[in-house]
Every structure is written in structure tokens, then in C-alpha cells.
Amino acid sequence: MNSELDEEFIALFTKLPERVKHTARKNYRLWKEDPGHPGLEFKAVAGVDNVYSVCVGIGWRDLGVLRAEIIPSSGFGLARTRSMTSC
């Protein structure tokens, strides 16, 4: 599986705290090696077609849209989660 980043994602990513950017980069590398790694919690978002999320760290997830085996982080990007019990 491949991924792409759009300009909007990159612009928003630069505004994140350094610790979140560091964890996002580390988990992206892990996702590229093993999308099924249990620590990433890579999964489809319930009730929304072709949208997937991945854990970026405590309280943060990244969302992307699946298009022909490419998951771009476009229009979604990283988001804080409300629950601290899971990403």
C-alpha cells in the first residue's frame, strides 16, 4: 500500500507540536513496513466509505482516503481524539 500527502496536510503538519510530528514520522515508517502492526490500530472508519485511520500517538490519529491502493492524507490530516483510552 502506498500513501501520498497533499499540500493542505503538509501545511497543517508543520503547525503540530514537535513531539506529535516525531511520533507521526516514526509511526508512518512503521506503517510502511507493517500496516497490520497492532500498535498502529490501522482500521476503516465505521460508517464512512474508504476512510481509514491510524494511531499517531496518545490522543492523535491520522485519517486518509483509500483510492486505488493509495491512501492520501488529504482534507483530513492529523486530529486530536477525544478519548485517551485509545489513540
43 CB-side CA count, 13 A: 11
CA dihedral 68, 2, 9, 54 (to 10 degrees): 100
Average pLDDT in the chain: 77
Higher pLDDT, 81 or 75: 81
Q: Which whole number is the average pLDDT over 60-82?
A: 62
Query: What is the share, in percent, of the chain residues with pLDDT greater than 70?
Result: 76
Q: Which whole number is the average pLDDT over 60-80?
A: 63
Output the CA angle 9-12-13, nearest 5 degrees.
80
* pLDDT score of 12: 85
Query: What is the share, in percent, of the chain residues with pLDDT greater than 90?
Result: 3
Cell readout for 39 is 500498535
